[in-house]
Every structure is written in structure tokens, then in C-alpha cells.
Structure 1
Amino acid sequence: MKRKVVLASRNADKVRELQQLFAELDLEVLSSADFPGLPEVIEDGTTTVENARRKAILTAAYTGHIAVADDTSLEIRELNGFPDIFAARFSGPQATYRSNVQLVLELMGDVPAASRQARFSTACVWVDPCPERQDHRAARPAISRWLRNPWARSIGIRDTAREWDFWNGLMDRRRVWDVYRRQMELDQVTWGHDRARLREVAEGLFLGCPDALRPGETLDKSAHQEGVRLPDTRLWAVDGPETSARPLTEVAPSGLPADAPGRETNGPFWFEMATEGKILGDITTEPVGALGFGYDPIFRPEGERRTLAEMPAAEKNAISHRGQAMRRLLTAVRETYGEG
């Protein structure tokens, strides 16, 4: 019987792209859309890997199946690295492909071609909540680790400052926000065509994240992401299943529905693999091409005359950030599980 793998996304365009990449494996491929009760996860990590991990862990926990999640950032040099990990919601909580692209072009304006460099980065994470073997290890470039089932024991959270810092990963995120703020205040960065507008966008991102607020600032609830909040995933990392003598998880996140199918089927130890892919390019002055999705119409890969939105799916997947990360993950799956 084929094992099932759930792509942790409700984005039909992304799911279609990932399904094409997964077609070579002997797995039944599903998506988050096949599980209406699956809650959203708050993507409050400071890297694409951490955000992908959060999505994969929650999806595996709920469904009881292998989960694969990805997360993408777009760093534009002239915009001080923005949109960065906020690429999907750069233009606000109701962001669309079109509004994100329009905002980037507005901010870039008449920035000359020599200063329009950008980088796409994608992290892909595989989480197996029921590994059949206890000795899995992935070869590089994949990075693997074992996790305790985060929901194996739920005794709540002891409310101490030290535990809350670790639980929410607050310190790491506050450092990221502080760097952005200092750069804005000191004007020691590039700000594209419209400095004031980029400052406004950045402040909006700060006010949508409770960890970024300073004394006296108020959370903009309309911009705040709703969903299940997971801790720093290092909380559950172990050397391997042989460490069973260690105590069970001391804290377990809330928000997983009581009727989640995975509650009855998930094992005590989970296996995780993560890979990354990157592609350099530049931002065009206007959208070009009708294929792809997201920022594809304004991203021209290095050495190419076409944008990603002008490339057929197979050609795009051969060079794209997501294609690179997923191929590395699939290679790790075949080597580790003997699939395909």
C-alpha cells in the first residue's frame, strides 16, 4: 500500500508545481486542501527553513501522514533585502500576486538595471510522523534530525520568562526586527525609488507582529496572522529514537483539534529532512509572461532573457529555487527510504 504524503499548502499553483516534481516517487500525493479541518500555522520563524518546519510539523501532526512544506523568500538588494520572508504577504494581509508585484515595482521605480539584483530562496522540509525504521540519516546537502512527537504529552506551559522566550523563539525574532529598525533609523541602507513608502511598508510588517512591538506601540490586528503558533522547533529535537530514556516533551502546543486523525496514528519519534535552493536574477521594470505565479513575471534569472513567467513548467523547475530544493529533497528521500 502506498504511503501518503501531504503537501502543506492550499495554494493551487504551488501544489500543482510540487505534484509534478513528486510524480517520480511511489507515493500518493495529497495537499492541505484534502483536509478541511487542518488549521493554519503562524509563520513567525526568522528563516524560510523555520517557517517550512512549522508548516510540515503541524500538517504531519494533524493528518498522520508524511508532510512536505516549503517556504520562499525574495531578497531585493535595493530594498534592503525586502520582501525577504514576507514575500507572500508583502503588500498586506489580503495580499495577492498582483498586489505584491505592483508594490515591488512601485518601490523599485526607476532604479537602474545595474542595481536591480535579487535572489529567490526556497526551503523544503519533509516530516515523517511514523518512520518505519529507526536509523534514518540523510546525506548532505539535506539536513536531517529526529524529533519527539510534540503532542506526545500535553501538560501546558509553565509561565516563566525563560520558558516563554524559548517557546516563542522571541529573542531570535526580536533581533531580526531590531536590525531592520536600526537600519531604517540610521539610513545606512538602500531604499529603492521611494524611501518613505518602503519605510511605511516595513513599519506595517512590524505592527503586524507582536514580537516586534516596542513599548507604547499597538498591534495592528488586521495585519496579524491568525493560526496555531508553534515554538522554536529545537524544543523537540533529539539525537534519535535511542534517546527514549529522556523525558517526554514538557510542553505541547495548543490548537491541534481533538479529532485530528494523526493523534491516534503518529509515532513517538518523527524523522525530518530539510533542503534549500537559491537562484540569482534581477527585477524587471514591468511584468512579463503569463506562466508561473507569484513574483515570476518580474524575476529574470541570471543569464536569461526571459522571466520565470515566460518559461514552461518543466524548464522553470529545472533551474528554479523551488525546483532545486525539491530535487535535493527527492534525492534524499530515495537515498534514505529507497523510494522511486
Structure 2
Amino acid sequence: MSGAPGGAGPRLVLATHNQGKLRELRELLRGHVPGLDVEAQVVDAAAVGGPDVVEDGVTFGENSLLKARAVAAATGLVAVADDSGLSVDVLGGAPGIFSARWAGRHGDDRANLELLLAQLADVRDEHRGAAFVCAAALVVPANQGDAAREHVEYGELKGTLLREPRGEGGFGYDPILRPDGLDRSCAELTREEKNAISHRGQAFRALLPAIVEALS
């Protein structure tokens, strides 16, 4: 375990600068670790001076571990990271690990979305299958002679790509993926609805027992 039990300082670092992801992790953890103040003790990398990490892995799992390892090593705290993206059937799994920079500039959600829609403009509805995929990694740093521990879990949300964005919620490609069995895009779901079915929610829920053990 890293960080002082019950103390006010950070105990868990999410290796991201994305406030949406941080909010989701806090909501997932709320009430699961006795004495854990999720607002004060579950923080992002910027809050503890975490390093910028080159995501040069070739899979979601590799990239999530790269980020978690780097933050755990730099801060001495338990670190969690995820790498996620959109896998489009007719593109052979692309954008995949390049989802956040599909249009060339990292994090330009609007440009990424517009480029993808343009590339798929002539694809018939029955061939517009896609899935959000997430790998979530936990790294517990070495402590008092104990070796570092690592754990990775995965989640997937399958659906169909719409022809134009719908909804104001979420981020990334949420406005154009309609999950299987629903008539709304991910961006039209409430936060609770999205967390219940999302690829990231699935991966982090699978990782939750390992996180709880690391913080207990």
C-alpha cells in the first residue's frame, strides 16, 4: 500500500489529464475503500507532478501499463491508467490506439470525429459496426523489499456508428456510437447510464478488486 492510510494526501493517481476519466474513477471507487476521500485522495497526474509518457506501445494493454508504471515510479503512489479507443470493423480495427490523434493532433475530438465520419460516408448502415475498447492497468510500486505488482483488465462496448453526431454528453467519439440494444448515442446517455455499460466502466469494475486490495 502507498500513501498514508486515512491521511489527507493522495493515495491513488490516475495517469491522465482528462477530467472526465478522473470523475468516472472517483464515482466507481466511492464507498468501496473505508476512509478514502475520493475527491482529495484520488487525483490525476497533474496534481502530483506525474511525468508525460510516450505511448509507444502497439496495444491498448501495453500503453496502459506504460503510463501506470511511469506514474507509480515517479510518485511512489498506487497508479492506475487506461488506454482506450474506437475499433471500427470496416477499418480493420482502426483508429484503435490512434483514436485520440486520428486527425493528426492529439485530443482534437471534433477533428477526429469529422474525419472518421468522412471516411465512412459511403459505408452502408449494416457495415458500420464498431466498438469502444479499453485496457485498464494498475501498478502498485515496490515497497519495503516487495516487488511492484501489476494487473490489467479489459472492457468492450459494441455498437453501430451513426452518420452524424448526437448528444452533448461524454467526449471523444461518444456522439457517433450507438450501443447495441439502445436507440441513443453514448453522448445522449446520462452519466450513470454510460458508466453502467461503458468499455471503461467494464475495465475499471474488473480492476476494482485489485485497486481496493492495493488501498486497503
> SS in structure 2 opposite 1:85?
helix
Paired with 2:121 and 2:215, the residues of 1 have a C-alpha distance of: 50
Residue type of the alignment partner of 1:309: A
Q: CA deviation at 1:338?
A: 8.2
The number of equivalent residue pairs is 203
Paired with 1:276 and 1:29, the residues of 2 have a C-alpha distance of: 21
Report which of the two structures shows the higher radius of gyration computed on alpha carbons: 1
Indicate the residue corresponding to 1:97 in structure 2.
109
Residue type of the alignment partner of 2:43: L
Residue type of the alignment partner of 1:19: R
Aligned residues of 2:11 and 2:215 also touching (Cα < 8 A) = no
Paired with 2:182 and 2:86, the residues of 1 have a C-alpha distance of: 18
Q: CA deviation at 1:293?
A: 0.7
Paired with 2:100 and 2:182, the residues of 1 have a C-alpha distance of: 24
Indicate the residue corresponding to 1:124 in structure 2.
136
Indicate the residue corresponding to 2:28 in structure 1.
21
Q: 1:58 to 1:315 in 2, by over 3 A?
A: same
Paired with 1:21 and 1:130, the residues of 2 have a C-alpha distance of: 25
Paired with 1:314 and 1:271, the residues of 2 have a C-alpha distance of: 31
Q: 1:94 to 1:70 in 2, by over 3 A?
A: closer
| Residue of structure 2 aligned with 1:33, choices 39, 46, 69 | 46
**1:240-292 CA-partner distances (Å, limit 9, x unpaired):** xxxxxxxxxxxxxxxxxxxxxxxxxxx56101111111111011000000011
The normalised TM-score by structure 2 is: 0.88
Larger relative contact order, structure 1 or 2 (CA cutoff 8 Å, min sep 6): 1
Q: Does 1:308 align with 2:189?
A: no
Q: Does 1:275 align with 2:157?
A: no
Q: CA deviation at 1:33?
A: 1.7
Aligned residues of 1:131 and 1:271 also touching (Cα < 8 A) = no
CA-based RMSD:
1.8
> SS in structure 2 opposite 1:269?
coil
Paired with 1:330 and 1:312, the residues of 2 have a C-alpha distance of: 22
Q: Summarize the alignment of residues 40-79 of structure 1 with structure 2, pairs less than 5 Å apart.
A: 40-79=52-91
Q: CA deviation at 1:15?
A: 1.5
Instruction: Give the gaps of 5 or more residues in structure 1.
Output: 133-266
Q: CA deviation at 1:107?
A: 0.5
**1:184-229 CA-partner distances (Å, limit 9, x unpaired):** xxxxxxxxxxxxxxxxxxxxxxxxxxxxxxxxxxxxxxxxxxxxxx
Residue type of the alignment partner of 2:111: S
Aligned residues of 1:65 and 1:130 also touching (Cα < 8 A) = no
Paired with 1:80 and 1:327, the residues of 2 have a C-alpha distance of: 28
| Residue of structure 2 aligned with 1:8, choices 8, 12, 15 | 15
Residue type of the alignment partner of 2:47: D
Paired with 1:63 and 1:333, the residues of 2 have a C-alpha distance of: 17
Residue type of the alignment partner of 2:157: I
Quote the sequence identity (%): 43
Q: CA deviation at 1:95?
A: 4.1
The normalised TM-score by structure 1 is: 0.57
Residue type of the alignment partner of 1:121: V
Q: Does 1:82 align with 2:100?
A: no
Residue type of the alignment partner of 2:87: E
Q: CA deviation at 1:97?
A: 1.0
Q: CA deviation at 1:25?
A: 3.1
Q: CA deviation at 1:331?
A: 2.7
Q: 1:338 to 1:100 in 2, by over 3 A?
A: closer
Indicate the residue corresponding to 1:190 in structure 2.
none
**1:148-193 CA-partner distances (Å, limit 9, x unpaired):** xxxxxxxxxxxxxxxxxxxxxxxxxxxxxxxxxxxxxxxxxxxxxx
Paired with 1:130 and 1:94, the residues of 2 have a C-alpha distance of: 32
| Residue of structure 2 aligned with 1:328, choices 174, 194, 206 | 206
Paired with 2:97 and 2:32, the residues of 1 have a C-alpha distance of: 30
Runs of at least 4 residues off by over 3 Å? 336-339
> SS in structure 1 opposite 2:115?
helix
